Structure 1
Amino acid sequence: MFKNLHILGLTLLCAMLASCSQTDSSNTSSADSGTKYVMVIHGGAGTILKSTMTPEKEAAYKAALTKALETGYAAIKNGKTSLDAVEATIHVLEDSPLFNAGKGAVFTHDGKNEMDAAIMDGSNLKAGSVAGVTVIKNPISAARAVMEKSEHVMMAGAGADKFAKQAGLEIVDPSYFFTQERWDGLQKAIKEDSTKSVLDHGNKKTYKLGTENKDYKFGTVGCVALDNKGNLAAGTSTGGMTNKKFGRIGDAPIIGSGTYANNATAAISCTGWGEFYIRSVVAHDISALMEYKGLGVAEASKMVLDKMAKLGGDGGLIALDKKGNIAMPFNTEGMYRGTITADGKIDVQIYK
């Protein structure tokens, strides 16, 4: 009898400890709450502090994220595919000057806007992406056109712009992408760069050309969605890194690094210091851990983000699995993010 009581006591203690160790489902996974999510979005991760945010700007960000979620949710409720929902949602974010994508894209060192985007269909692993495009109003639509209207997966530069025009997408003058805030950000970045010295020897830090300005890289937008037929899709769109040089391309348009979707595992979209996401193949690594080791979406996402952080990278990601469980880990001060459940409940967050 006493032995049975002892065993019962240990069982209860273990259950209590397990309960205490669970991670907040609003930021990682809905597996414990039983909530089914149908869409998750992000608008970039980085040094986002409430102390430096005006109430007006915070309200503007929340309104834009809410509108994006409502747009994608409406598509899903009306029976459209997860691909349709992702594209429509990202259009809202690309059309807003608040985010580093489309209208709000940052400037390169030469004062141009060069945008990247990717989209992927989890039902068949088809994908499309564009990099370094300059005149396409909504790069995410160009990525989808590459996937559906060409035999290729990725197009870049002038060729991608030409293809988008032939595909019937909306083409704009490069001046459309000008915003004063992004232009001022470029001038600040150039000024700070000019005060740095390149040191190849000794114990002082070496500044490699075109890879610094880590505080000027954030604002990428992304969306992952689960439709009524159980199909997943992911999309990511970005203007890249302020003051980027030499035709630099980040992780967003690289399938498996910044964007990935597979019905068997999850849909993932990343935001952060792209070079590290490329080297770590973050999005596919999460999917692989889920497929080969049977990890849940929250555990796999955290493990991969932690592994990337050890290399020196920072940022965040959103992930949604086939059961509607989510993960939204980030290792920065904040990440613009939002979710919507199957019953239409919206939650938008900014800070850690």
Structure 2
Amino acid sequence: MRLRSHSRIWLGTVFAAATVLTASLTTAVPSSAGSSSTSSHKTFVRPAERGGPGRPDARDVVLAVHGGAGTALDPDTTSPQQERAYRKGLTDALRAGQRVLRRGGDSVAAVEASVRVLEDNELFNAGKGAVFTADAGHELDASIMRGSDQAAGAVAGVRSVRNPISAARLVMEKTRHVLLAGEGADDFAARNGLPTVTQDYYWTQKRWDQLMAAKEKARNAKSAPGEGTRGPGGGATASDDEQTKGTVGAVALDGRHNLAAATSTGGMTNKMPGRVGDSPIIGAGTYANNGTVAASATGHGEVFIRGAATATISHLMEYGDLDVAQAAYRVLVKQLPQLGGDGGVIALDGEGVFDAPHSSPGMLYGYLTGDGKIITKIFPSESPANE
């Protein structure tokens, strides 16, 4: 039977049901992510195949990131410059987390560092590259969770924090609350010394063009603001085949075998002011429990909230005796689409077993293995949608 989450000595228990599987795996050694070998500076493109439905994508993983799920990047129309930019964005985030692990930092610090890099990269729908609300503003959400004791922090609807994920960590570590929203969250972040910005910091031409296209589409369809084609993070976009990505996240396993997860987003294009998606909701967009999984989700936020996506993965592992790949596949591919939404998740267990199932056509993600290899996946051929 799978060990229950409240035990602090779960790593010392080996249960018979896992014997055959674990005998064939290389044990994750998170501290090796900090080795100074030259392999830690190489980026490897994963071959086209993946683990398959309900089977792990990779093993001996110590850190993974995602850049959103949605429509797929088309290799025929994606320029070499764009491909390099997306791969570099994911790789830079992984290296930031790797530096934390290398110096003996914990998994919480590693996921925060990785997500901060993605928030500062305008390619992604978080921080600098956040999408616009219906009133042409920006409202950002983020959350973080520590697997050792299920401590968590989150912010929703912030408008002036440069790095919402750092504000979420402050909520976890400096308050008795889990979620702060709006002006109160902005003020709390500023009082605690986090860099603040004006709304124009988040502005990018691409996101402005997406807002204009979404409004035009909504007018033509005579639909209300916030409705329309779902895009990365569940937003309304200009067209069904738009190739932008969205919500970002990270999961990590540190040298003390502690898991952590973090997620950050600008939400959905043309969303109603005040709308909050799954990213800052613990158990929906983010979850971490040393006895089961660290998971960060991306997709149709309302459905991920209704389906309690990441907590359900953990519960299937804890009470249903499923492994991480089986549980993530069941939730992302079998359950959530029945509620009317798609998306993906990165999920990592305490043995370094990793999977990234998604029901959307594509998902951007990458991971770092214990021996320092970095793998990125941005095209459908590298990460086909699960069925």
Q: Which residue of 1 aligns with 2:291?
A: 264
Distance 1:157 1:62, change over 3 A: same
**Quick check: 1:247 aligned with 2:271?**
no
Unaligned runs of 5+ in 2: 1-48, 236-244, 381-387
How far is 1:50 from its partner?
A: 2.2
2:169 aligns with one of 138, 144, 156: 144
Contact 2:214–2:228 (8 Å) recurs in 1? no
Moved more, 50-59 or 306-315: 50-59
Aligned equivalents of 1:52 and 1:309: distance in 2?
28
Question: Which of 347, 366, 379 is matched with 1:319 structurally?
Answer: 347
Larger Rg: 1
Taking the aligned partners of 1:60 and 1:169, their CA distance within structure 2 comes to: 27
1:39 aligns with 2:63: yes
Does 251-260 or 210-219 show the bigger shift? 210-219
Pick from 247, 255, 258: which aligns with 1:231?
258
| 215, 218, 221: which one aligns with 2:231 | 215
Are the counterparts in 1 of residues 53 and 329 from structure 2 also a CA contact under 8 Å?
Answer: no
Residue 306 of structure 2 is aligned to residue 279 of structure 1: yes
1:166 aligned to which of 184, 191, 194: 191
Cα distance in 1 for residues equivalent to 2:156 and 2:168: 9
Match of 1:191 in 2: 216
Q: Distance in 2 between matches of 1:210 and 1:25?
A: 36
1:26 deviates by: 8.5
Report if the CA contact (8 A) 1:252-1:259 is conserved.
yes
Residue in 1 that maps onto 2:368:
340
- The 8 Å contact of residues 30 and 324 in structure 1, kept in 2 or not, is answered as no
Amino acid at match of 1:349: K
SS at match of 2:169: helix
CA offsets, 1:172-210, max 9 Å, x none?
Answer: 11111111111111001001000013xxxxxxxxx5653
Aligned-residue CA RMSD (Å)? 1.6
**Identity rate, percent:** 50
* Secondary structure, counterpart of 1:195 in structure 2: helix
* Cα distance between partner residues in 2 of 1:166 and 1:297: 39
Please list the CA deviations of residues 129-148 of structure 1 after superposition, one character each: whole Å capped at 9, or x if unmatched: 00000100000000000001
- Shift in alpha-carbon separation, 1:169–1:100, aligned structure 2, 3 A: same
Contact preservation (8 Å) 2:249, 2:261: yes
Q: Say whether residues 1:99 and 2:124 are aligned partners.
A: yes
Residue 211 (structure 1) shift: 3.6
Q: Distance in 2 between matches of 1:339 and 1:227?
A: 14
Q: Distance in 2 between matches of 1:84 and 1:142?
A: 13
Equivalence for 1:349: 377
Q: Which runs of 5+ in 1 are unaligned?
A: 1-22, 198-206
TM-score by length of 1: 0.88
- 1:66 & 1:29 partners in 2: Cα distance? 24
Shift in alpha-carbon separation, 1:54–1:27, aligned structure 2, 3 A:
farther
SS at match of 1:299: helix
For normalisation by structure 2, the TM-score amounts to: 0.80
Letter of the structure 1 residue corresponding to residue 228 of structure 2: E
CA distance in 2, matches of 1:86, 1:130: 16
Alignment-mate amino acid for residue 99 of structure 1: F
